[in-house]
Copies of this chain bind each other. A is one copy, B any other.
């Protein structure tokens, strides 16, 4: 059984206060405004394949930890893309490798989430180890065959009020269309992610542009057509329930080009002759353009900046993306976001949510920016930072400058569907602990702390991701009170 007071402060007085706060948020519905669950999983609603697929191979946190200790990717079932290498295909063997390495996860959030899933979601009575691997495997297989472990049954059991997926700008949104036909259209919503279209030196760019033309029905002969097609696709996403766009860029530069330069670079890119430098400038320019479109159509804009994808070219070539070899680099926001914020940061129709994996900018740049620009909210700790210490540092580094109400509340970024409740529960416990300390230090009263905890877990993400066009935005707004 999971310890009822896990992750609350260890000090008795604070633990008592934190428990009181957490009791007020523990049963709130889950608002999951950003993640990587595939809509088809819920549209098809078929049983999960097997424990190895559910817990190991689909989770790049787990994959990378095993790899870091010398486990070859092949041994955990990673198919080498272009070469004939013996790959482990028996899920039970993969599961055994995972369980034998359970000690590697000590002190990591993966351990915390996995334990929560195994114990709380699946009722596993053993601690993973080489000895218990088979028994746990059999237990899980038996559970996965039951109707109550079908994806939509879990959606209800997890009490997920809204689930946003992440979808390529050129997606057919077939899963979402199917879900909409079954009445899930407002509950499971797509997110517009045009990354593949905004970096013209990516190998797949020409194909992405062709696909954009197909999907939008707009012939893309030049830059203006490209913008029109993007706008058309945004409208389609909005019609399918989308609340937001999402942008994964190496840096957050938002310097706009003038129209002539943008059109010229786009034309050279279409001819396959664009330089790395021009492509980079174009990609920054397009962030600015995406902001302009957000002001018009009300889609909330998310920026996830600062990760160098595929640090190891050979792994990328042999095994594909998302194998754990994405590594953060230093980030800069004060100067990079300036063009966007000067142009749109005080527009009532604009909402920008910024995520980083570089903690050095929390107190130095992001909290001061979010603490003055009305359009900006600071996203929750992302990726490696979505962890107990990561979330504590976030609150400690951000709150004193930005307050609580310039943050987005909790946003989970889950790939593993079954990890969503663990992640939200952990966040609520950490926030309860942080708020308990403010109460214990005499900075807040308990009723203020409870209200803030509820806001962080539930109201703030709903408000942060409300489409601005639908939202009653008053230019004389009184801030967070607006949704009380």
Contact = CB atoms under 8 A, between A and B. Distances in A.
B312 A345 contact: yes
Contacts of A330: 332, 360, 364
Interface residues of A, number: 107
Interface string A351-384: 0000001111001110111111110100000001
Contacts of A387: 400-401
Specify how many copies of this chain sit in the oligomer. 3
B13 A327 contact: no
Interface in A434-484: 437-438, 440-444, 448, 451-452, 473-481
Interface in A398-450: 399-406, 437-438, 440-444, 448
Interface stretch (A45-53, A95-103, A238-246): A95-103
Interface stretch (A107-115, A156-164, A208-216, A221-229): A107-115
A89 interface: no
B324 A372 contact: yes
Which residue, A69, A72, A107, A330, has most C-beta atoms of chain B within 10 A? A107
B441 A370 contact: no
Interface string A19-55: 0000000000000000000000000000000000000
Which residue, A6, A325, A348, A385, has most C-beta atoms of chain B within 10 A? A325
Given A65-B371, A308-B334, A72 B476 contact: yes
A353 to B, nearest CB: 14
Contacts of A10: 11, 13-14, 437, 440-441
Given A71-B479, A367-B384, A479-B101, A441 B6 contact: yes
A297 to B, nearest CB: 20
